[in-house]
């Protein structure tokens, strides 16, 4: 008579599975709650928020807070909305990510396949850059930007972010290329390919996973950076993060929470977008080194 | 004048000397096989010829022209790597044509060359595939194709067959031999495989710790090893190397070695090399290959000097075509190669015939052959 006990076992199994799902769903809700609050309150009129129930769905749906946050909110002295700062952030982040990723790839290529005397020391020093806190670099960076005449410009911010990100991007690419077969490079040399031809034709096409990892990492860090933006940007080049802070902490008038929520979501959208588009490669890229060996 | 000439080649990595003055040459159309234990510098030597490693001393010339300092692509060589080293992001055709593409050869001409090579290697139907979609043997063919299409003066192969299974290895070995016959191009080939070395080579070079031990035709290396290392390294099963004591008696020389549970083995060596008498009363190493140590009926009838002795057989290993019998001489296991149907049994005594025509002697101190 084993049938009933087998039935029992499957039932216990189902119960356990159900419990696990309930716990997981609770965690997921808990985790998504802040996003929910932000979204829900960004489409309510301010009066509804004032009534005190942040968790309630909007009774009256409105996109006005989004419009205000984007183009008419008072930021600093002018009522420009977040739009110009969003553009500043794009103009800063896109070149900084592209340049630091490309340079990191080149560094990784040289450090693994065109080794030279003292290459490990160079790598060690670059690695050290990953551990230097932002704050330590502020004053020297300000001096150098001043000397280069880049203080307060978007180009200056790009330079700072490239310099700061290079340690990370080099680390990523070096470790990835260390597992890349050297014989391929030798074969290409015999085929007559030059340094850049080998880089472009042989290494880069096989680098998609690590490029995705690096781009996500760099984009998130640079987009979300506040300190460099606040320190080295002026009112023409300040990034989104600084503008958001100014929007939220502006002392004049009433606190427009719905506008603040909309602004915060706007500020987070690009990184969200990057994750959604390339997130599955992110995991794959992180794993690639482990599997290839 | 030989075609590929290597003169006093030296290579150091940091402060480690990896190649210590290699002198080696190959005639045009020759097939040089480099053998030696792992880490002895075979790949380094090959990479030096290819120009992938900068050498620290000596010189290399191909066809009378010094190639030191030339870029790998200008040395007129082509290389096939152990891991095949196919570009993973390119098709088979792309792999074979990459070198021509870099040199700016026009597309129609490239396609023609690719087609010719593909036909020669029977990989025409694979041209549009990526390397990841090929079997090991097919990848190897593509790698060879990429080398062939360059029409180089010298082919360099670094253990090209070691990643293939046994059957495929034999097929590809035959194929490489056929290609060599057909093209007549000079080849330098690294392998760990004894049989590959013996069957392919017109010349074998044995390396150990970056020093060239001996170079010569396969027969020379096999029959006349210059030292203990070469004797031990070449041949499978390995040559029996037995410590024996030399006794001069009159004009002749005899060797003796103790045996457990038996009288010492004493053999007169009428054809002893002249140098052996200088070792009177001392120990030398007596080398005899398993096939020169047989049952009486299997002994070579043309051999001039055959000595016989009763030996206690410890192990019998039938191997199909032959039977290997292991006895013990001078505390060493000694393998004899008998006919498949030889009448031997473990634990019994059997008369073994020593073909002394094939015997060699070595000085145990220097390891050098006594001549
Ligand atoms: N880039 C390098 N830096 C330092 N030492 C090296 C380098 N390349 C090779 N060596 C050393 O040189 C020696 C010879 O290496 P090589 O690869 O030529 O050996 P090999 O005979 O081809 O061995 P295997 O049969 O295992 O392929 C080894 O001891 C190795 O550790
Ligand atoms: Mg090797």
Domain CATH for B263: 2.40.50.140
Decide: residue A127, CB within 10 A, 0-12 exposed, 13-18 middle, 19+ buried.
middle
Q: Which atom of ligand 1 is nearest to the CA of B13?
A: 4
Are residues B159 and B69 part of one domain?
A: yes
Residue ending a domain, among B233, B255, B278, is B233
Which ligand has its closest atom nearest to the C-alpha of B44?
1
Confirm whether B180 is domain-assigned.
yes
The whole-number pLDDT of residue A156 equals 94
Number of domains composing chain B: 2
Place of tokens 């942040």: A54
Contact of B98 with chain A, judged by CB distance below 8 Å, is answered with: yes
- The rounded mean pLDDT for chain B is 92
The whole-number pLDDT of residue A289 equals 44
- The answer to whether the Cβ–Cβ distance between A190 and B82 falls below 8 Å is no
pLDDT in tens, A29-54: 999 999 999 999 999 998 888 888 88
Q: Which atom of ligand 1 is nearest to the CA of B207?
A: 21
Cβ B336 vs Cβ B327: under 8 Å: yes
The token pair at A215 is: 């781009």
Confirm whether A1 is domain-assigned.
no
The token pair at B153 is: 């003066």
Confirm whether A230 is domain-assigned.
yes
Are residues B308 and B250 part of one domain?
A: yes
Residue ending a domain, among A72, A103, A119, is A72
Confirm whether A195 is domain-assigned.
yes
Are residues B322 and B198 part of one domain?
A: no
Confidence of residue B355 (pLDDT cuts 50, 70, 90): very high
The token pair at B45 is: 């030597």
ipTM score of complex: 0.83
CATH number at residue A176: 1.10.3720.10
Are residues B285 and B217 part of one domain?
A: no
Residue ending a domain, among B181, B204, B233, is B233
Which chain B positions have a beta carbon within 8 Å of A192's beta carbon?
71, 73-74, 99, 102-103
Residue ending a domain, among A28, A47, A72, is A72
Are residues A182 and A115 part of one domain?
A: yes
Does residue B13 have its Cβ closer than 6 Å to ligand 1? yes
Are residues A120 and A60 part of one domain?
A: no
- The answer to whether the Cβ–Cβ distance between B87 and A201 falls below 8 Å is yes
Among B57-71, B114-128, B162-176, the range scoring the smallest mean pLDDT is B162-176
Are residues B87 and B165 part of one domain?
A: yes
Are residues A116 and A93 part of one domain?
A: yes
pLDDT in tens, B210-232: 999 999 999 999 999 999 999 99
For residue B251, what are the CA distances in angstroms to A112, B248, B272, B280, B282?
A: 67, 7, 11, 12, 17
d(CA A246, CA A264): 12
Residue ending a domain, among B203, B233, B263, is B233
Confirm whether A246 is domain-assigned.
yes
Are residues B87 and B166 part of one domain?
A: yes
d(CA A136, CA A231): 13
Residue-number span of the structural domain to which A134 is assigned: 83-290
Confirm whether B371 is domain-assigned.
no
Is the pLDDT at B181 greater than 70? The verdict is yes
Confirm whether A2 is domain-assigned.
no
d(CA B106, CA B100): 8
The whole-number pLDDT of residue A236 equals 87
Are residues B211 and B251 part of one domain?
A: no
Is the pLDDT at B145 greater than 90? The verdict is yes
Are residues A161 and A183 part of one domain?
A: yes
Tell me the β-bridge partners of A79: none
The answer, yes or no, to whether the previous bond of B237 is cis (omega within 30 of 0) is: yes
Which residues, 6+ apart, have CB-to-CB distance to A220 below 8 Å? A271, A274
Are residues B113 and B219 part of one domain?
A: yes
Are residues A55 and A180 part of one domain?
A: no
Q: Identify which of B13, B126, B142, B32 has the alpha carbon closest to the alpha carbon of residue B81.
A: B142
3-state secondary structure of B77: strand
Q: For residues A56, A59, A64 and A67, what is the CA-based torsion angle, rounded to 10 degrees? A: 50
Are residues B256 and B191 part of one domain?
A: no
Q: Which helix (DSSP H) or strand (DSSP E) does residue A132 occupy?
A: none
The whole-number pLDDT of residue A242 equals 92
Are residues B291 and B259 part of one domain?
A: yes
Q: Identify which of B200, B122, B182, B187 has the alpha carbon closest to the alpha carbon of residue B156.
A: B187
Are residues B262 and B222 part of one domain?
A: no
The whole-number pLDDT of residue A30 equals 94
d(CA B141, CA A3): 59
Chain B nearest C-alpha distance from A79 (Å)? 52
The whole-number pLDDT of residue A292 equals 36
pLDDT in tens, B98-120: 999 999 999 999 999 999 999 98
Are residues A27 and A116 part of one domain?
A: no
Tell me the best of B35, B40, B54 to mutate to test the pocket of ligand 1, counting ligand atoms within 8 Å of each CB and taking the most: B40
- The answer to whether the Cβ–Cβ distance between A181 and B77 falls below 8 Å is no
The whole-number pLDDT of residue A3 equals 55
Are residues A152 and A40 part of one domain?
A: no
Confirm whether B367 is domain-assigned.
no
Other residues' Cβ atoms within 10 Å of the Cβ of residue B217: 13
Does residue B210 have its Cβ closer than 6 Å to ligand 1? no
pLDDT in tens, B275-316: 998 899 999 999 999 999 998 888 888 888 899 999 999 999
Residue ending a domain, among A72, A96, A125, is A72
Confirm whether B98 is domain-assigned.
yes
Number of domains composing chain A: 2
According to DSSP, the β-strands at B65-66 and B293-295 are unpaired
Question: Which residue ranges in chain A fall short of pLDDT 70?
Answer: 1-6, 251-252, 282-293
Task: Provide the whole-model pTM.
Answer: 0.82
Residue-number span of the structural domain to which B224 is assigned: 4-233
Are residues A275 and A194 part of one domain?
A: yes
Confirm whether B329 is domain-assigned.
yes
The token pair at A180 is: 């890349």
Are residues B196 and B54 part of one domain?
A: yes
């Amino acid at each position: 008579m084993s049938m009933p006990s087998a039935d029992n076992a499957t039932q216990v199994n189902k119960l356990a599975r159900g419990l696990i799902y309930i716990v997981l769903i609770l965690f997921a809700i808990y985790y998504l709650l802040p996003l929910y609050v932000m979204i829900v309150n960004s489409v309510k009129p301010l009066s509804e928020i004032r009534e005190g129930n942040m968790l309630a769905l909007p009774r009256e749906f409105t996109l006005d807070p989004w419009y205000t946050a984007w183009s008419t909110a008072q930021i600093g002295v002018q009522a420009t909305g977040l739009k110009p700062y969003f553009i500043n952030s794009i103009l800063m982040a896109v070149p900084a990510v592209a340049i630091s990723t490309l340079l990191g790839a080149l560094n990784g290529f040289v450090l693994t396949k065109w080794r030279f005397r003292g290459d490990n020391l160079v790598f060690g020093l670059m690695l050290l850059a990953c551990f230097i806190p932002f704050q330590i670099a502020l004053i020297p960076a300000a001096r150098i930007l001043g000397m280069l005449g880049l203080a307060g410009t978007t180009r200056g911010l790009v330079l700072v972010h490239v310099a700061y990100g290079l340690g990370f991007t080099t680390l990523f690419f070096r470790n990835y290329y260390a597992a890349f077969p050297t014989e391929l490079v030798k074969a290409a040399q015999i085929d007559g390919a030059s340094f850049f031809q080998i880089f472009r034709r042989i290494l880069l096409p096989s680098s998609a996973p690590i490029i995705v990892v690096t781009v996500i990492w760099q984009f998130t860090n640079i987009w979300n950076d506040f300190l460099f933006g606040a320190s080295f940007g002026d009112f023409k080049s300040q990034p989104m993060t600084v503008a958001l802070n100014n929007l939220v902490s502006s002392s004049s008038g009433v606190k427009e929470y719905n506008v603040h929520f909309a602004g915060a979501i706007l500020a987070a959208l690009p990184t969200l977008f990057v994750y959604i588009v390339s997130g599955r490669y992110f995991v794959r890229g992180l794993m690639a080194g482990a599997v290839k060996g | 004048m030989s075609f590929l000439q290597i003169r006093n080649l030296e290579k150091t990595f940091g402060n480690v000397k990896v190649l210590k003055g290699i002198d080696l040459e190959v005639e045009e159309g020759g097939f040089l096989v480099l053998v030696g234990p792992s880490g002895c510098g075979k790949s380094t030597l090959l990479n030096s010829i290819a120009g992938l490693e900068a050498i620290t001393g000596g010189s290399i010339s191909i066809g009378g022209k010094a190639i030191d300092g030339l870029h790998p692509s200008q040395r007129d060589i082509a290389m096939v790597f152990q891991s095949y080293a196919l570009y993973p992001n390119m098709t088979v055709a792309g792999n074979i044509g990459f070198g021509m593409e870099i040199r700016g050869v026009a597309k129609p001409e490239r396609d023609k060359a690719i087609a010719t090579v593909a036909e020669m290697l029977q990989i025409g139907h694979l041209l549009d595939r990526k390397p990841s979609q090929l079997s090991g043997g097919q990848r190897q063919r593509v790698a060879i194709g990429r080398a062939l299409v360059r029409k180089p003066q010298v082919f360099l192969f670094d253990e090209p067959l070691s990643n293939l299974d046994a059957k495929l290895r034999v097929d590809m070995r035959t194929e490489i031999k056929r290609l060599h016959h057909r093209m007549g191009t000079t080849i330098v080939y690294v392998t760990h495989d004894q049989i590959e070395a013996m069957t392919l080579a017109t010349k074998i070079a044995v390396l150990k710790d970056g020093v060239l031990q001996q170079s010569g035709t396969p027969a020379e290396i096999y029959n006349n090893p210059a030292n203990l290392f070469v004797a031990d390294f070449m041949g499978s099963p390995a040559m029996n190397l037995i410590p024996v004591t030399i006794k001069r008696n009159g004009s002749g020389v005899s060797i003796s070695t103790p045996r457990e549970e038996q009288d010492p083995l004493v053999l007169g060596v009428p054809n002893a090399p002249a140098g052996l008498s200088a070792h009177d009363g001392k120990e030398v190493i007596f080398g005899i290959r398993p096939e020169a140590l047989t049952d009486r009926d299997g002994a070579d009838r043309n051999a001039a000097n055959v000595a016989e002795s009763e030996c206690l057989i410890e192990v019998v290993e039938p191997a199909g075509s032959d039977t290997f019998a292991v006895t013990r001489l001078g505390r060493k296991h000694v393998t004899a190669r008998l006919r498949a149907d030889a009448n031997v049994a473990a634990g019994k005594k059997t008369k073994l015939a020593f073909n002394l025509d094939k015997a060699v002697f070595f000085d145990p101190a220097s390891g050098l052959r006594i001549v």
